[in-house]
Amino acid sequence: MEQPVIELNNVVKEFTASGGFGSTEIFRALDSISFKLYKGRTLALVGESGCGKSTCAKLITKVHGVTEGEILFKGENVDTINKRRDILNYRGKVQMVFQDPFGSLNPTHTIRHHLTRPLLIHKQVKGKDAIEKRLNELMELVELPIEDLDKYPHQLSGGQRQRVNLARAIGVGAEIILADEPTSMLDVSIRLGVLNLMKEMKEKIGIGFLYITHDLATAHYIAEETAVMYRGRIVEWGDTRSILRNPQHPYTKLLISAVPDPDLPFNKLVDSEPDYSQSADKIRAISLKSVAGHRQVADNHFVANWDEAEIAALQKDKIA
């Protein structure tokens, strides 16, 4: 078996907030999260805002420590990566790309500056010619014209800026890119271009992606595997196609019902099942209850257990 680059095992993350009168409240943002990231493959982490997607990425990049469980980088617990140089090296290999393509670029510096600096810091190439050559390769890889090197961020579109961010991640030597809602601030018309670029980076140079999104419909463009997250838990996971074609968990069905994509099989759900879009609040409440255990749906398709009796009651409501 191929070794995962990143592996989360039963990761729990609790945040402590101070309540009134000197008390503290503990909020469990992640509850027993497990997944693996491989070179040349994409896992989509899908769920609505606040479910804990970004927290997963922040734990992987060591912005926060885990409360329980472990995160392994090529088999080594990331907790043991502590020296400045080791952290720099690790963060070079596991890079974040954020939602806001502008926020991560400095308006007073050219694209050339943005791409050259990390090459130097991470000691990827030495010497002027080698740097120039690498810059050309990076621009070609993300399909931007060489002339753009001398432009400033504001002279580029959102999609072009996101390409610069991807080029920069490759420039520092990324093996895994944690792409946190990378297209959600882009115009719909250019989203697909960025997703296709990520797909090419995966296929051509073997980058592994964690594709974080609230939009289940885009998962099938680039992600072989999907994990559907709800309030800190993964409720359904495995092969993306199997999940989209044959969703099991009420929350996954709710997400799919919200997607106006004629290729997705929502029609086949409506007759015999609750009306997911009408009963959204109830389905959320039922999905929130953690029921122990999970079952296997297909070769690579698993679903956490849920309160079937309550969902059945919703169904009756609908028929009555």
Q: Which residues bind Mg ion (CB under 5 A)?
A: 54
In the complex, minimum distance from the CB of residue 29 to ligand ADP, in angstroms, rounded to a whole number: 4
Q: Which does residue 50 touch among ligand ADP, Mg ion, none (CB within 5 to 8 A, set by kind)?
A: ligand ADP
Q: Does 120 bind ligand ADP (CB under 6 A)?
A: no
User: Kind of pairing, strands 42-46 and 68-73?
Assistant: unpaired
Whole-Å CA distances, 25 to 16, 115, 247: 6, 43, 35
In the complex, minimum distance from the CB of residue 46 to ligand ADP, in angstroms, rounded to a whole number: 10
In the complex, minimum distance from the CB of residue 284 to ligand ADP, in angstroms, rounded to a whole number: 14
In the complex, minimum distance from the CB of residue 49 to ligand ADP, in angstroms, rounded to a whole number: 4
DSSP H or E stretch at residue 267: helix 267-270
User: Kind of pairing, strands 24-37 and 42-46?
Assistant: unpaired
Q: Does 166 bind ligand ADP (CB under 6 A)?
A: no
In the complex, minimum distance from the CB of residue 36 to ligand ADP, in angstroms, rounded to a whole number: 19
31 versus 242: smaller Cβ distance to ligand ADP = 31
211 versus 306: smaller Cβ distance to Mg ion = 211
- Among positions 20-79, residues that touch ligand ADP (CB under 6 A) are 27, 29, 47, 49-55
| Of 198, 203, 125, residue with least CA distance to 136 | 125
Q: Which does residue 208 touch among ligand ADP, Mg ion, none (CB within 5 to 8 A, set by kind)?
A: none
95 versus 160: smaller Cβ distance to Mg ion = 95
- The Cα 214–Cα 206 span in angstroms is 25
Q: Which does residue 55 touch among ligand ADP, Mg ion, none (CB within 5 to 8 A, set by kind)?
A: ligand ADP
From the CA atom positions of the chain, what is the Rg in Å? 21
115 versus 219: smaller Cβ distance to ligand ADP = 219
| CB 44, CB 240: distance < 8 Å | yes
- The Cα 318–Cα 188 span in angstroms is 35
| Of 301, 197, 206, 166, residue with least CA distance to 247 | 301
Q: Does 15 bind ligand ADP (CB under 6 A)?
A: yes
Q: Does 226 bind ligand ADP (CB under 6 A)?
A: no
- The Cα 44–Cα 238 span in angstroms is 10
Residue 66, sorted as left (phi over 0), alpha (psi -120 to 50) or beta, turns out to be: beta
User: Kind of pairing, strands 6-18 and 24-37?
Assistant: antiparallel
48 versus 310: smaller Cβ distance to ligand ADP = 48
Residue 280, both tokens: 């959204």
Residue 51, both tokens: 């479910």
Q: Does 4 bind ligand ADP (CB under 6 A)?
A: no
Rounded to 5°, angle at Cα 200 from 195 and 205: 135
In the complex, minimum distance from the CB of residue 57 to ligand ADP, in angstroms, rounded to a whole number: 8
131 versus 288: smaller Cβ distance to ligand ADP = 288
Q: Does 216 bind ligand ADP (CB under 6 A)?
A: no
Residue 19 dihedral angles phi and psi, to the nearest 5°: -85, -165
115 versus 228: smaller Cβ distance to Mg ion = 228
In the complex, minimum distance from the CB of residue 55 to ligand ADP, in angstroms, rounded to a whole number: 3
Q: Which residues make up the interface to ligand ADP (CB under 6 A)?
A: 15, 27, 29, 47, 49-55
